[in-house]
Amino acid sequence: MTSVLDWEATPNPVKENRAGNIGKAVDRYEGPLKVTGTAPYAYEVEPPSPPSYGVMLSAPIAKGRITTIDTKAAEASPGVQLVWTYKNKPAQGPRPERYDFFTPSPRPALESEQVYYFGQQVAIVVADTLENAQAGAALVALTFEDDAKSVILQDHYDEAVQPPGESDTEIGDFQAAFDAAPVTVDDVWKTPLQNHCQMEPCATTAWWDGDQLTVHTSVQMVRFAQNSLAETLMIPAKSVRLLTRYVGGGFGGKGSFYEDLVLASLAARELKRPVKIAFSRQQMMHGTVHRPATEIHVRLGANPDGRLTAMSLMTVTHCDRRGNFTEHASNFARSLYAAPNRLTGHRLVRLDLPVASAMRAPGEASGTLSLEVAMDELAEKLGMDPMELRIINEPEMDPETGKPFSIRQLVRCMREGAQTFGWDNRNPVPSAVRDGRWNIGLGMAAAIRGNFLLPAKASFTVDADGVITVKQGMTDIGTGTYTVLAQIAAETLGVPLGDVRVEIGDSELPPAPGSGGQFGAATAGSAALDAGMNLRKAIAEIAVNDPASPLYGGPSEDITFQDGVIAISNRSERLSELIRRNRPEGLTADGEVRPAADASKWSSHTYGAHFVEVAVDTVTGEVRTRRMLGVFAAGRILNWKTARSQLTGGMIWGVGSALTEGNSVDARYGSLINQDLAGYLVPVQADIGELDAIMLDEVDDKANPMGIKGVGELGISGAGAAVANAIYNACGVRVRDYPITPDKILAALAAEGR
């Protein structure tokens, strides 16, 4: 088994970075396709023959069953080729009672007459054109028995259970320490149900060639979707080729897959022609997964010098009736601040709502909206600067496990951010700074997000032109995977970036877990590095054994790879020449990465600090984000440009979660009321002022062979809390029920007679 210590001790081309490809602000590999509109997303792939179009019909009730079905009008509608409901759908593998992200399992569509959540897909109409399919779908007549439903978290606390297989973690005696603490904060924060709102709705294009299925779909995890689809269709996995080359946003929501994939595959088989199905924007809100709401009870106890003596986060959250997902909003607190007495845990309520699952930084995104505001409140009670309060409580080792940190530069993030942002200019007295009709406030918060490494494989091929092709069943959901794989390949094999090709998003390629949990770059990249190292060895072996090569005789361990040339001191030749002579068909090497056996001996996270300036109109309650800076420490950065974009994107998600985002549940219908992009408000361009992210120099050699970590989720962690804290500094109002909309600010101002 690999050890973290081996990673740390062993040099490799990425660490050495001789050609400087690592860290460089390289343009996106697939960027030219994206800016010209020529990157085909799943619905846009051209099938071998003209496709039919599927349109799904969604349940208008939250719980109950389908009582009557009349599809005659739909079937008679022009161009309609197929109408399926649960009554006549094809046989599919049975759904397991409970399922999770990482274990493939059947996901039958149009399963039964039962409706488990509003928006569940209950029928499909396929027609020769999209217009005919849409018109046909409107003619499917279904009636339902609408049962009593439980959809409001607060109404069902009595049903809250400990999530399966989990327990609360208590260190010391939290209650006693909290009761004895001279300064305390004790409040509840609420975060709403949120939706991913990827710009590309879920979509699939499917066709069959005999028993062989080809599906282009929009998912984050290739193998998981391929295997689950095969089990659903009850065919061998090798009969399914699943491709997902361009994904129009994922954010966790495409970690799963949906009925478009299953029904397009089934309908294409039935009709013997390609079928395309896309979710409508409205169907995305209910019919895919969401981030569940949380209620987080935060209790902090501190001495007058600011040292925390007691800290507790207890989260109540929800998942769907048949699910198991828990929004672990308390977990991050286990590693963030020192406090001798600690209590954290979660309670889960199962509701008749759509399926809850992961959304960008599950846990941290919600959890930091509570604790990182509570720390601001505590700082005010103590009369301390909120950044200094955090620094005083900086732990020397993981405060819960006692493990050493692999590396932790949170304090440096805060200090450098404070200086660059001008934190010194903050007036700690709320409502003290005005600019025209706006009250101005500054706020800050810390960021933390776990670091993960999963098993993955990759292959590298060098051809007779000296071009390196990276192959991996990985995805790029906007994260920059194509680009960083190309950089790793260029650096490892010493070829120009332009001589690297990257093929990903295909189940026929060596498997990688996909994009999620900000583990993508570390996981996929480490496997790629290994493949590159193995290819170097294979090339070296050939060179030293080829009498025609100037490198003949070796020593092979002295071979350098640079600018497409392999050399031993002054003996050299072009890599392409060697390959042309010896392996004109190309030379391939495989690689893989597995988590180190001793990885769990360290507490490994990414860190950051956010600084925000907001303006609050105290007449109307409107908030504007004027200026925002994040400083982050996340290991070695593979690509300064794409990493920064991931971080700034996350920060803007934080602004959205603080100010505008959230689905409202109507208890009577069990449905979300804002179910389109006019109702669910994600930030727009005008919401975001000046905003930047800075990445500290850092190497975390205990994280993986490259010493890198993820950045895709770190940016959102704490960002919304910094906005909330800035709002308080601007106008003296704390709103603990997100999002902080004008009506809530006005209510608080009015309550104080302001």
Partner 1 sequence: MRPFTYERAVDAAGAVKAAVETPNAKFLGGGTNLLDLMKLEIETPTHLIDVGRLPMAGIEETAEGGLRIGAMATNSHVAADAKVRSRYPVLTQAIVSGGSGQLRNKATTAGNLLQRTRCAYFYDTSKPCNKRAPGSGCGALEGLNRNSAIFGASHACIATHPSDMAVALVALDASVEVLSPSGAARSFPLMELHRLPAETPDKDTHLIPGELITAVVLPPPPDGGQLYRKVRDRASYAAGLASVAVAGGRIALGAVAHKPWRAADAEAALASGASPAEAIAAELEGASANGRNGFKINLISRLVPAAIEEARGQGRGA
Partner 2 sequence: MKTTITVNGQAKTLDVDTRTTLLDALRERLNLPGTKKGCDHGQCGACTVLVNGVRINSCLSLAVMHDGDAVTTIEGIGTVEKLAPIQQAFLTEDAFQCGYCTPGQICSALGMLQEVADNWPSQETTDLTGKIKFTDDELRERMSGNICRCSAYPQIVAAIRSIAGDAA
- Write out the residues near partner 2 by the rule CB under 8 A: 27-28, 30-41, 43-44, 46, 129-132, 134-135, 196-201, 246-251, 278, 280-281, 477-480, 641-642, 644-646, 648-653, 676-678, 682-686, 688-692
Site for partner 1 in 256-295 (CB under 8 A): 282
Kindly determine how many residues on this chain lie close enough to bind partner 1 according to the rule CB under 8 A.
Answer: 41
Closest distance between partner 1 and the C-beta of residue 344, in Å? 32
Query: Which listed option, partner 2, partner 1, none, makes contact with residue 653 (CB within 5 to 8 Å by class)?
Result: partner 2
CA atoms of 434 and 514, how far apart (whole Å): 48
60 is a site residue for partner 1 (CB under 8 A): yes
Is residue 675 a contact point for partner 1 (CB under 8 A)?
Answer: yes
743 lies in the binding site for partner 1 (CB under 8 A): yes
- Tell me: does residue 669 bind partner 1 (CB under 8 A): yes
Of residues 39 and 749, the one with the C-beta less far from partner 2: 39
| H-run or E-run covering 588 | strand 587-593
Question: Can you tell me which of 621, 635, 649, 710 binds partner 1, judged by CB under 8 A?
Answer: 621
DSSP assignment of 27-52: PPTTHHHHHTT-S--GGGS--SSPPE
Q: In the bound complex, what is the minimum distance in angstroms from residue 691's beta carbon to partner 2?
A: 5
Q: Which is nearer to partner 1, 86 or 669 (CB)?
A: 669
Q: Which stretch binds partner 1 (CB under 8 A): 178-186, 449-457, 459-467, 670-678?
A: 670-678
* CA triple 388-390-396, angle to 5 deg: 115
- 690 binds, options partner 2, partner 1, none, Cβ within 5 to 8 A by partner type: partner 2
Using the minimum distance from each CB to partner 1, give the nearer residue, 452 or 738: 738
CB 308 within 8 A of CB 338: yes
Instruction: Please count the helices (runs of H) and the strands (runs of E) in the chain.
Output: 19, 29
Does 555 contact partner 1 by CB under 8 A?
no
How many CB atoms are closer than 10 A to CB 692? 15
CA atoms of 660 and 681, how far apart (whole Å): 6
- 340's contact among partner 1, partner 2, none, with CB below 5 to 8 A by partner kind, is none
For partner 1, the binding residue among 18, 72, 87, 437 (CB under 8 A) is 437
| Nearer CB in complex with partner 2: 31/93 | 31
Chain centre distance of CA 100: 16
Instruction: Find, among 360, 359, 299, 307, the residue nearest to 330 by Cα.
Output: 299
- Radius of gyration, alpha carbons of the chain: 27
- Which of 3, 88, 212, 620: binder of partner 1 (CB under 8 A)? 620
For residues 611 and 723, give the distance between their C-alpha atoms in angstroms, rounded to a whole number: 8
Burial class (CB in 10 A: 0-12, 13-18, 19+), 1: exposed
Q: Judged by CB under 8 A, does residue 679 bind partner 1?
A: yes
User: Considering only 91-99, 332-340, 347-355, 619-627, which stretch makes contact with partner 1 by CB under 8 A?
Assistant: 619-627
Q: In what order do the strands lie in the sheet with 141-146?
A: 114-115, 64-70, 141-146
How far apart are alpha carbons 237 and 295 in whole angstroms?
A: 41
Closest CA to 370 of 294, 309, 443: 294
Half-sphere exposure of 236 (CA within 13 A, CB side): 4
Among 47-55, 340-348, 662-670, 720-728, the segment contacting partner 1 (CB under 8 A): 662-670
Which of the listed partners (partner 1, partner 2, none) does 630 bind, with a CB threshold of 5 to 8 Å by partner kind?
Answer: none
Torsion of CA 120, 126, 127, 130, to 10 degrees: 40
Selection from partner 1, partner 2, none that 561 binds (CB < 5 to 8 A by kind) is none
Partner whose binding site includes residue 94, from partner 1, partner 2, none (CB under 5 to 8 Å by kind): none
55, interface contact from partner 1, partner 2, none, CB < 5-8 Å by kind? none
Q: Is 750 a residue that touches partner 1 (CB under 8 A)? A: yes
Cα-based torsion angle of the residue sequence 107, 113, 116, 117 in order, rounded to the nearest 10 degrees: 100
Burial of 638 (0-12, 13-18, 19+ CB in 10 A): buried
Q: Is 668 in the site for partner 1 (CB under 8 A)?
A: yes
CB of 267 to partner 2, least distance (A): 17
Q: Is the peptide bond before 739 cis (omega within 30 degrees of 0)?
A: yes
**Among 491, 502, 487, which Cα is nearest to 11's?**
491
Minimum CB distance to partner 2 smaller for 219 or for 230: 219
Select from 742, 748, 752, 753 the one that contacts partner 1 (CB under 8 A).
Answer: 742
Q: 167 or 685: whose CB is closer to partner 1? A: 685
Residue of 34, 26, 39, 31 lying closest to 490 (CA atoms): 26
DSSP 99: -
C-beta of residue 482 within 8 angstroms of C-beta of residue 504: yes
Choice between 40 and 553, CB closer to partner 2: 40
The item of partner 1, partner 2, none sharing an interface with residue 60, based on CB under 5 to 8 Å by kind, is: partner 1
* Distance from C-alpha of 75 to C-alpha of 725, rounded to nearest angstrom: 57
The nearest distance, CB 616 to partner 2, in angstroms, is 17
Among 674, 691, 692, 748, binds partner 1 (CB under 8 A): 674
Q: Which of 749, 721, 729, 733 is nearest to 298 (CA)?
A: 721
Q: Which 110-149 residues touch partner 1, going by CB under 8 A?
A: 118, 131, 134-135, 138
SS3 319: strand
Closer to partner 1 by Cβ: residue 714 or 726: 726
- Whole-angstrom Cα distance, residue 696 to residue 640? 11
DSSP state of 506: B
Do 718 and 368 touch, CB atoms closer than 8 A? Answer: yes
What angle (nearest 5°) sits at the alpha carbon of residue 9, between those of residues 8 and 14?
A: 70
If contact means CB under 5 to 8 A according to the sort of partner, which of partner 1, partner 2, none does residue 41 touch?
A: partner 2
State the binding partner of 741 from partner 2, partner 1, none, CB within 5 to 8 A by kind. partner 1
Stretch that binds partner 1, among 363-371, 378-386, 633-641, 661-669 (CB under 8 A): 661-669
Question: Measured from the CB atom, is 130 or 171 closer to partner 2?
Answer: 130
- Residue 193 pairs in a beta bridge with 663
713 is catalytic: yes
Other CB atoms within a 10 A radius of the CB of residue 681 amount to 17
The C-alpha atoms of residue 646 and residue 712 are separated, in whole angstroms, by 5
Q: Which does 129 bind (CB under 5 to 8 A by kind): partner 1, partner 2, none?
A: partner 2
Q: Length of the chain in residues, anyone?
A: 754
Shortest CB 283 distance to partner 2, Å: 11
- From the list 111, 364, 400, 713, the catalytic residue is 713
Residues 142 and 123: beta-carbon distance below 8 Å: yes
Collapsing DSSP to helix, strand or coil, 85 comes out as coil
* Contact stretch for partner 1 (CB under 8 A) within 298-306, 560-568, 700-708, 735-743: 735-743
Taking the complex as a whole, the smallest distance from the CB of residue 31 to partner 2 amounts, in Å, to 4
Residue 226, by phi and psi: left (phi above 0), alpha (psi -120 to 50) or beta? alpha
Instruction: Determine if 683 is a binding residue for partner 1 (CB under 8 A).
Output: yes
Q: Which does 619 bind (CB under 5 to 8 A by kind): partner 1, partner 2, none?
A: partner 1
Min dist. Cβ of residue 509 to partner 1 (A) = 38
- The residue from 188, 411, 746, 748 that contacts partner 1 (CB under 8 A) is 746
Say which entry of partner 2, partner 1, none residue 621 contacts (CB below 5 to 8 A, set by partner kind). partner 1
* Contacts with partner 1, 67-96, as mask; x by CB under 8 A: -----------x------------------
Tokens standing for 668? 């009577």
User: Which residues contact partner 1 (rule: CB under 8 A)?
Assistant: 60-61, 78, 118, 131, 134-135, 138, 282, 437, 619-622, 624, 659-660, 664, 666, 668-669, 671, 673-676, 678-679, 681, 683-687, 739, 741-743, 746-747, 750
Catalytic residues: 713
